[in-house]
Every structure is written in C-alpha cells, then in structure tokens.
Amino acid sequence: MTPAARPSFRRYLLKTATAVTAAAALGGLSTDANSAWYRTLRKPRWQPPSQAFGLVWTPLYGLIAYSGARALTEETEEDGRARLRRAFALNLALNAAWTPLFFAARAPRLALADIVALNASNVVLVRRFLRADRRAGLALLPYAAWTLFATALNVSIAVRNPNTRTPAIAAAARRRE
C-alpha cells in the first residue's frame, strides 16, 4: 500500500476510542455495586474490591481503542478492514452487554453466557489483530486475560447463588404474584 493510500491512525483512533467510550459508558451507567441485590450475593474471597474494576478497565479500554486503530491502520486490504470492523463491533457489543445483564437484569447466568461469547470473540479478535499487526494483537492480550478472570468470577458468583432469577423467571414470578 502506498503512503498516500494508507489509512490514518489518528482517524481510526478517534473512531475506535469513540466506540470504546460508548461501550464503557453503558457499562458504567449499568453498574451498581452498592445495590442491595449485589451486596447480598455470595462472592468468592478472591474477588477484588469494587474500586479495582474501574482502575483495571480504564487502561484496558485504552488498549482496546489503540489496538483497534492500529490493526485497522495496518490492514492492507479493504475487505480485511471490513472484517476487522465487524469483529471489533461484535466484541464491543458483547462487552457492553455484560454489565446490564449482570447488574440491571440481575442475571448472573445470562451474563455468564454473554461473557463466554465475549471470550470466544476475544480469541477471534486477537488472532485477526495479530495478522494485521503483531503489536495490535499483543496489546489486546491484557484485555483477553482480564476477561478470563472476570469469567471465573462470574462462574463463581453464578454457582454460589443458584437461586438468582433469570429475567424470564423474574417476569413469570411477577405475573403469578
């Protein structure tokens, strides 16, 4: 690809940062770690304090935006960029869906299904980013690792709280009352 035809890293960084910020904002608006429901859940001893999540997610979101912009910039084929954009969008949608499922819907098992799909999406995204640009793929590894940790935490909470209602069960219970 000639330098004149090369996509602008800054342009892609602005786009990926905007998309990542939207996903992060949705998560932030949906999180209520101080709710009575969340406080009463049985959690593992190894769960980090609530404040740690914001401290971890902030740089991870930065890495996601950076790696997305870098992969999109370095991908030489327009078809490849289109595939990267779709994979990136799906990944962010799965990422953004987890918090409302867990906290707003109060459905740890449904959130678990989402985060398992997010892990699969992470594998695809890391592989595609590595093909486009090694640094872009490597920059996603902390995100993939943290998502695996979050999955273990989600599993532990779902197992420790088997009576937590799914949204469908909660709706059916309200109709019977």
Altogether, the residues listed in the chain come to a count of 177
- If we measure between CA atoms, which residue out of 54, 26, 16 comes closest to residue 139? 16
Identify the helix (H) or strand (E) that includes residue 103. none
- For 19-78, the pLDDT digits (tens) are 999 999 988 888 888 888 999 999 999 999 988 999 999 999 999 999 999 999 999 999
If pLDDT is split at 50, 70 and 90, which confidence band does 164 have? confident
pTM metric for this prediction: 0.88
Tell me the C-alpha distance between 125 and 117, whole Å.
Answer: 12
Domains of the chain: 9-176 (1.20.1260.100)
Tokens (6 digits) for 103: 């906290």
139: number of Cβ within 10 Å: 21
115: pLDDT strictly greater than 60? yes
106: pLDDT strictly greater than 80? yes
- If we measure between CA atoms, which residue out of 6, 169, 141 comes closest to residue 64? 141
172: pLDDT strictly greater than 80? no
The pLDDT of residue 22: 96
